[in-house]
Amino acid sequence: MITVLPDHIANQIAAGEVIQRPASAVKELLENAVDASATAIQLIVNDAGKSLIQVVDNGKGMNEEDATRCFGRHATSKISCIEDLFRIQTMGFRGEALASIAAVAQVELRTRTAAADTGFYVEVENSQLVKTAPVAAPQGTSVAMKNLFFNVPARRNFLKSNAAEMRHIIDEFTRVALAFPTIAFSLHANHQQLFQLESGTLKQRIVQLMGASYESRLVTVKEETDYLNIRGFVGKPDTARKTRGEQYFFVNNRFIKSAYLHHAVMNAFQGMLAPDHFPLYVLFIDLDPQQIDINVHPTKQEIKFEDEKIVYAFVQAAVKHALAQFSITPTLDFDLDASIQQLSSIQQPFTEEKRSAAADSSIFRSFTQKNQAHLIQPSGFTPYPSDWHTSEPEPASEATLLPSAIEEQTISVTGLLDAYILYPNRNGLWLIDQQGAHERILYEQLQQSSSDQPVPTQRTLFPVTLSLSPADAALLQELIPTLGSLGFLLEPKDPGSFMVQGTPSDLPSGQEKMIIESILEQYKHFNADVSHALREKLIRSMVKLRCIKAGTALSEKEMRQLVVQLLACQHPGKTPDGKPTYLAIEQSYLAEIFSR
């Protein structure tokens, strides 16, 4: 039997498409305020938007009739015929936002036009008009939505932690604020001011949002053609990071996501960035609205271009031209951490004498010359017998490699190329990747820590104040409890700043700020992986940061310690990422190769 759904249920279903989380409502309300020709917009949230989201603007406002009609489905002032969909110039045009919000929240609207002496108040709950009345109000509109998903508890239960939801809200706020730098924006969360953005230029807005360090590190992009115009900024190569998050495309001032255009920018930076690094860019593409379709996705963050290849070519050419204009050329050390660059193996020249000695060694030849074994093999000999394995040995066989009471002095080790360790044992020899081995050791050490047995903390003699962007501050706030069990003692101070009271005892002092910022950056790199919990991502971030990197020269004692600690691991054969930590070459294979 087919029935027609009641309006409030139909609205809740429609709301599921438009309002997935608090940040979705923030986006819709901010865009409506922009379309109202506001010059100042204020966003107020409590409990990461779960209890309150309020947007106050000084725009045109609405009269009594529009104030009651705007909560109806398909109510919009932006389009009047189907052709309007193909020349959209406004932000919120679908006529679904306020109806969707009213279906899943308790909404209060106050509004007044410039021509009216008094304003008008509307209260809506569960899609039903509850109250209307005249009210004193400044020109503009204030929309307050309270208790999001109060009537859809299953949806509310799927919301993330306040810190996680707040990060999504900041993302949406940032996108709208970047798109309209001439509008003043502010954001207050739980009665604390996070942003106060004065109107200004795009460059000023980028610096306001992302930090003063970008003031001298932005390159202007500007190309004008008959087909489209491209404007904005890209960061110099030294601003590139391992994580995405500071890449923004706007088409006709609307934020979009486009892997295709991102590829165009990456191509323009080819040869200038370290592997797996991403440049900052804030790029605006202005073209005829009839050349695009913005209705391919409910959030309008994915669009179709009539000729995407032309847009790709223009974007790549514009960025290349900008970089060339500012004489930015590739450098050779982007992929070296600051700590690695200070090592003696990097600082000291690799002389011709050292090069010859390394190249003449039998070990070097054995592992670098292709098909070396084939030159001496008998006819019919298989170069990779079944008893040569790279898989992790069973714990029982590991126990036979060293006595139960391990004495480091009994181990023979040889360093190779400042990256590998040769470890002979009774079964043959292992070629150990020192970075991979240390990753495994650190990973298991951190895994064993807990709130009951935290990593030992070393109190800082002079506590350091760490100031972060609002987005990073919201992320760090979420991570503080887990970081505590991993040896970091952090205390929130003013909005966006933290006091570093202590760090893990084995970390060098004086680098607290750099270490925590690096952990945040590495964590964001792992954060896209939904298969791992927060703690697991954080541990992997710390492992990547703290492990001994390839290119680090180790003393014989350090190499022996590394081998002993690796053998003590529960799973010594693999890094946390699943890569091998060593190559095991068994004695029987060596004997067969050399006909012994």
Say how far apart CA 524 and CA 538 lie, in whole Å.
9
375 pLDDT band, cuts 50/70/90, is: very low
539-569: b or e for each residue (b if 16 or more CB lie within 10 Å)?
bbbbbbbbbbbebbebeeebbbbbbbbbbeb
Strand boundaries in 380-484, DSSP class E: 414-416, 420-425, 428-433, 457-467
What Å distances lie between residue 302 and 256, 260, 318, 447, CA to CA?
A: 6, 11, 22, 40
pTM above 0.85, yes or no: no
What is the end-to-end Cα distance of the chain in Å, rounded? Answer: 84
Say how far apart CA 236 and CA 319 lie, in whole Å.
11
Helical residues (DSSP H) of 182-279, grouped into ranges:
202-210, 259-268
H or E segment and range at residue 10 = helix 7-18
In SS3 terms, 274-299 reads as CCCCECCEEEEEEECHHHEECCCCCC
- The owner of tokens 């190559």 is 583
pLDDT at position 403 is 37
Q: CA nearest 43: which of 470, 391, 561?
A: 470
pLDDT tens by residue, 443-464? 998 888 765 677 788 888 788 8
Which residues partner with 248 through β-bridges?
282
Percent of the chain at pLDDT exceeding 90: 34
Sorted by sequence, the CB contacts under 8 Å of residue 527 that are 6+ apart come out as: 243, 537
Say how far apart CA 22 and CA 16 lie, in whole Å.
12
Say how far apart CA 109 and CA 111 lie, in whole Å.
7
The packing angle between helices 97-104 and 22-35, to 10°, is 140
Q: CA nearest 398: which of 226, 240, 570, 552?
A: 570
pLDDT at position 395 is 37
Mean pLDDT in residue range 538-542: 84
* More confident call, 345 vs 305: 305
pLDDT tens by residue, 199-254? 999 999 999 888 877 888 899 999 999 889 999 999 998 888 877 778 999 999 99
pLDDT at position 115 is 93
Tell whether the model's pLDDT for residue 378 goes beyond 50.
no
Mean pLDDT in residue range 385-397: 38
Report phi then psi at 259, rounded to 5.
-65, -30
Q: What length is written for the chain?
A: 596
Set out the domains of the chain in order of their start, with CATH numbers. Answer: 7-200 (3.30.565.10), 203-325 (3.30.230.10), 370-596 (3.30.1370.100)
The Cβ of residue 445 has, within 10 Å, a number of other Cβ atoms equal to: 15
386 pLDDT band, cuts 50/70/90, is: very low
Cβ-contact 276, 236 below 8 angstroms: no
Tell whether the model's pLDDT for residue 3 goes beyond 80.
no
- How many helices (H) and strands (E) the chain has is answered by 20, 22
> Average model confidence (pLDDT) for the chain?
79
Cβ-contact 140, 157 below 8 angstroms: no
Q: Which two tokens stand for residue 324?
A: 């060339």
pLDDT tens by residue, 486-515? 888 898 887 778 898 888 877 777 777 888
Question: From edge to edge, which strands make up the β-sheet containing 140-146?
Answer: 128-135, 119-125, 106-112, 140-146, 52-57, 40-46, 184-189, 192-197
Cβ-contact 8, 103 below 8 angstroms: yes
